[in-house]
Structure 1
Amino acid sequence: MPQEHGGSIRDRVAYAPIHGRPRLQLPGGARVAVWTIVNVENWSPLGPMPRAVLPPPMGQPLLPDVPNWAWHEYGMRVGFWRFLEVLGERGLKATFAVNGTACTLYQEACVAAQEAGWEFMGHGHVQRPMHKVEDQRAAIADTIGAITDLTGKPPRGWESPGLTETDETLDLLAEAGIEYVADWVLDEQPVPLRTRSGGIVSVPYTVEINDVVISAVQQQRSDEIFQRGRDHFDRLHLDGAKTPRVMAISIHPYLTGVPHRIKYLEMLYDHILGHDGVVMWTGAEILDWYRTQVPADAGTR
């Protein structure tokens, strides 16, 4: 597989426009499969924060960065538990994208996610871009091991911190037994990707219905996740009459778990649940469904 800059990425995925593919079938003729990804991360107070809500005073960065570290820590002390309640009240199960080190650092939250029946997905060992990880193979193995120790089974999916990958990340994930990834935000249906040890599946993730983009990057109004999420879903439901679509809702406890945003997440779920033709699944359930529809080696030859 070519390793020149940019070449290996295009070699991994075939260009296949959605209108020309064989029609997939969701159970009961459903139009949209919706999955929720709850992201739980370890932000070390010893280094620069992965993102910030408050700029450094007079432009002088300080360590420890107490206000921005505490901004995130609030999510694990308070916001996460709102997510657990909102999803539980509606009988929904999330895919739990978790740093390996968070399994012990935030053990009570992780155990609560397991008891709620959520699917665990690897999300790096700590919250650090993959190109900054010295030994990716070891970090992937350590993450899988931490999740396995907690839940009794290895994760099937992976979301890299910040959706970052190097040229070898996908190969290392496949070799470690990961079956699907959420880094490749390029479609509304699952897509097969090539690795040096066989295929892996991209399950549609999102940078649009994602509270990092909405709230932390674009700094939109508190109701944007509802407004944008509703419009996004409505169009997928319309298009899903021709061929099914996948919608991802990506949330973080320190962002959507705050008091002034949580009701808009509730409103989004209630809007979606008010429609027929919808299945509320985890990433692994979407993967298993896709495998019933498409041959295992499709798009990887």
Structure 2
Amino acid sequence: MRTAADRDLVGYGRDRPAPQWPGGARLALNIAVNIEEGAEDSVPDGASRSESPLTDAGTAGADVPGRDLAAESMMAYGSRVGFWRVLRLLTERGMPATASACAVALERNPQIAAAAREAGWDLLGHGHRFTKHYLLTEDAERAELAAATASFRTTWGAAPTGWYCRYGPSLRTRQLLLEHGGFSYDSDAYDDELPYWTRVSGRDHLVVPHTFSNNDNKYAKGWWATSDDAFTYLRDAFDVLYAEGGAMMVVSVHPRLTGHPARAAGLARFLDHVAAHPAVWVTTRSAIAEHWAATHPAPTRTGTAS
């Protein structure tokens, strides 16, 4: 189990490595498209009430007893409409992305998996359902990983090599990922702008951090009101990182939010801003993990494994 002493508050510090991105790119950009619709808690799936995370409903349906048809409908917009708009914006610009997907969401709309694969996207496991891993028992979390992996093999055609929990992992998630096998990295961290190695049960394990900063959840929280808000925020983050050189930028979008026309306009402007700059590697999460493992392998250790 992790303790407070396990926290690394230093990281690379003054000695940040040159990432050596392919083609001499100044910046690696990964866009994660979160595919969760249909995997959230719902009464038909046995929950006591509906869930409406990160939708335009906000807290409007807090007093709806049992099944909330409005919340379900706002979630469904993402899979019925929003995903396809986001896919088109990326595909038109020749930019791959990462499908951060809940397994049940792909089961209920298998067209999404097929379209994402055709577009050259990779798969980041985001749970069997939209599950709070930190509330699970060890056996339940182990079963969650097994069920998700089996499902992805059917819908996607392969298991993911990376994993990202809903909001946060449990104290044992990384250990279970290694136990399960097949996972070369996870994204359950928000603490850096480069991948890094950590130790789990005496083994080296790669972390490719995610983002709550460059994330359209700010729409649902009321922090972004218009596409200009999103564009300005993402543009400024890109410009600073591009000027500095040598970093990774992750952008996280949800089809039920950014997929709406007024918000998709901001994503389109941002993608065009990126395209106007040379030496940017727009790529998938797994490609970043593979590059880092090959170019910056885990440090050689001597003595007893920690």
Structure 2: 5+ residue stretches without partners: 44-48
Q: TM-score, normalised by structure 1?
A: 0.89
Alpha-carbon offset, residue 62 of structure 1: 2.1
Q: Could you list the per-position Cα deviations for residues 3-32 of structure 1 after superposition, in whole angstroms to 9, with x for gaps in the alignment?
A: 44x344x2xx57333431343312232110
Give the aligned partner of residue 250 of structure 2: 248
Q: 1:16 corresponds to which residue?
A: 11
For the pair 1:155 / 2:157, whether they are aligned, the reply is no
Alpha-carbon distance in structure 1 between the residues aligned to 2:219 and 2:123: 24
Residue 50 of structure 1, CA deviation: 4.8
Residue equivalent to 1:68: 71
Q: Mean Cα displacement is larger for which, 132-141 or 41-50?
A: 41-50
Secondary structure, counterpart of 1:79 in structure 2: helix
CA distance in 2, matches of 1:283, 1:146: 20
Give how far 1:170 is off. Answer: 1.1
| Corresponding residue to 1:204 among 200, 209, 219 | 209
- Distance in 1 between the 2:142 and 2:209 partners? 24
What is residue 40 of structure 2 aligned with on the other side? 43
Aligned equivalents of 2:238, 2:220: Cα separation in 1: 22
**What SS class does the counterpart of residue 256 from structure 2 fall into?**
coil
Which of 297, 301, 304 is 1:295 aligned to?
297
- Compare 249-258 and 165-174 and name the one that shifted more: 165-174
Q: What's the TM-score once normalised by structure 2's chain length?
A: 0.88
The residue identity in structure 2 corresponding to 1:113 is A
Structure 1 residues 297 and 61: CA distance shift in structure 2, 3 A: farther
Q: Which residue of 1 aligns with 2:226?
A: 222
Q: 1:82 aligns with which of 79, 85, 95?
A: 85
CA deviations on 1:99-132 (whole Å, 9 max, x unpaired) are 1112211112122112222101100111121123
By how many angstroms is 1:238 displaced?
Answer: 0.9
8 Å Cα contact 1:98-1:121 kept in structure 2:
yes
- Match for residue 193 of structure 1 among 185, 195, 198: 198
Deviations 1:131-186 (A, max 9, x none): 23340011011111111222332211111112x11110111112222111112010
Partner of 1:124: 127
Contact (CA 8 Å) 2:113, 2:156: kept in 1 or not?
no
Identity of aligned residues (%): 31
Unaligned runs of 5+ in 1: none
Q: How far did 1:257 drift?
A: 0.3
Measure, in 1, the Cα distance between the counterparts of 2:23 and 2:91.
24
Measured in 2, the distance between the counterparts of 1:32 and 1:170 equals 28
Please provide the CA RMSD for this pair: 2.0
- CA distance change for structure 1 residues 189 and 141 in 2, over 3 Å: closer, same or farther? same
Deviation at 1:206, TM superposition (A): 1.0
Alignment partners' CA distance in 2, 1:247 and 1:284: 14
Output the CA distance in 1 between the equivalents of 2:156 and 2:192: 30
- AA matched with 1:68: A
Which of 93, 96, 111 matches 1:93?
96
Find the residue that maps to 2:100 and give its secondary structure: strand
The residue number in structure 1 matching 2:46 is: none
Query: How far off is 1:225 after superposition?
Result: 1.8
* Cα 1:179–1:218 shift into 2, 3 Å: farther
Residue of structure 1 equivalent to 2:170 = 166
Residue 40 of structure 2 aligns to which amino acid in structure 1? W
Which of these residues, 265, 269, 272, is aligned with residue 270 of structure 1? 272
